[in-house]
Amino acid sequence: MAKFNGEIETEDTYVRVTFQALLEAVLPVTYRPRTGRGGDLIPVPGGVQLKLHEYLIRELDHSQFQPVNAPDGLPPLSRSTAQMLDLGAKQYIRRGLALPLTEGFPGGGQFTRLAPIDRLLTLELIDRLEIPLGELSLPFKNNPGLVQTMVNSFTQLPYFGYYCEWFGYGTTRFAPPADRRLQFAPPGWQLAGYPGPSFGYREFRGFLLTYPACQGGSQ
């Protein structure tokens, strides 16, 4: 990855656009009524607009599922995951279940060419292990438990990234934790009605213990 003005741009276009396609299906743009404007709808940004592909890629490549003693040449977990999504898409297309394919994301594979609803159905196909597990890259190869765990994370990690403070760190979001600064309220906080952290509370230093007066030599 390369760093530009405090942000990290994924050099692997294939991985980036595959995760963008995933987010477009899992967390698409939605619309809600504008306050005080009857019938007027305003767009609510989805996962692609908030660049959550960066969050997902970072989380996967630094996760516990990435083998510690990985053999030389093992691709990052994000790339192995993108390849698994593509293999699932190929299986889905072979079954004749897909809607007409789109042009997809430039630089992406078959998963990005599926309609969003078919991408979600491809996740279900993978979760049912209806793909050739032996053709997957490590660490997913012949590892059904990890495959299902990863598919399950696709319904969790995007929402963690959407509603946590990550996007609000702005240009500091890739800095070490101690150097991150909240630059603005993330859209997820506004949607959830969360006002943000409150500072200035007195530090909790334990409970105050009181003892009754000793009478007659007993407490």
The token duo for 172 is 């500091």
Q: Is residue 75 within 8 Å of 34, Cβ to Cβ? A: no
Q: Is residue 108 within 8 Å of 17, Cβ to Cβ? A: yes
Q: Which residues of 175-210 are buried (b: 16+ CB within 10 A; e: fewer)?
A: eeeeebeeeeebbbbeeeeeeeeeeeeeeeeeeeee
Report d(CA 107, CA 162) in Å as an integer.
25
The token duo for 58 is 């970072």
The pLDDT score that the predictor gives to residue 4 is 33
At 91, is the secondary structure helix, strand, or coil? helix
The pLDDT score that the predictor gives to residue 122 is 97
The pLDDT score that the predictor gives to residue 9 is 46
pTM: 0.81
The pLDDT score that the predictor gives to residue 217 is 52
DSSP bridge partners of 43: 31
Segment 17-53, tens digit of pLDDT: 999 999 999 999 988 887 766 668 888 899 999 999 9
Segment 149-161, tens digit of pLDDT: 999 999 899 999 9
Residues of the chain below pLDDT 50: 1-9, 219
